Amino acid sequence: MNPVVGLDIAKGESHVQMLLDKKMPYKNSVKVNHTVEVLEEVHAYLLDLELQTGMKPPIVLEATGHYQDG
């Protein structure tokens, strides 16, 4: 398996999609409010994805704003 996590970061909320492998979503896409409780839940999902696949998934950010090379 080749797990990966995609993050689309916005000002008030972000969106997270985790994949076990190509075209194999792990859970549904999640809208993430920027609160400690919700971020702890996302962290738990990341740990579970790592447990399921035996690999730490790379995290891919959308290349915009502060994250864009330029």
Q: Which residue's entry shows tokens 């792990």? A: 26
Size of the chain, expressed as the number of residues it contains: 70
pLDDT band of residue 61 (cuts 50, 70, 90) is: confident
- Who contacts 26 (Cβ-Cβ below 8 Å, separation ≥6)? 3, 18, 19, 20, 45, 49, 52
The reported pLDDT for the residue numbered 18 is: 94
Q: What is the pTM of this model?
A: 0.79
Question: Which whole number is the average pLDDT over 4-24?
Answer: 90
N- to C-terminal Cα distance for the chain?
33
Residue 68 has pLDDT above 80, yes or no: no
Question: Which whole number is the average pLDDT over 51-63?
Answer: 90
Residue 36 has pLDDT above 70, yes or no: yes
Q: How many CB atoms lie within 10 A of CB 9?
A: 16
Higher pLDDT, 17 or 27: 17
What is the fold of 4-63?
Nucleotidyltransferase; domain 5 (3.30.420)
Tokens representing 31 are 């809208």
Per-domain boundaries in the chain: 4-63
DSSP state of 26: E
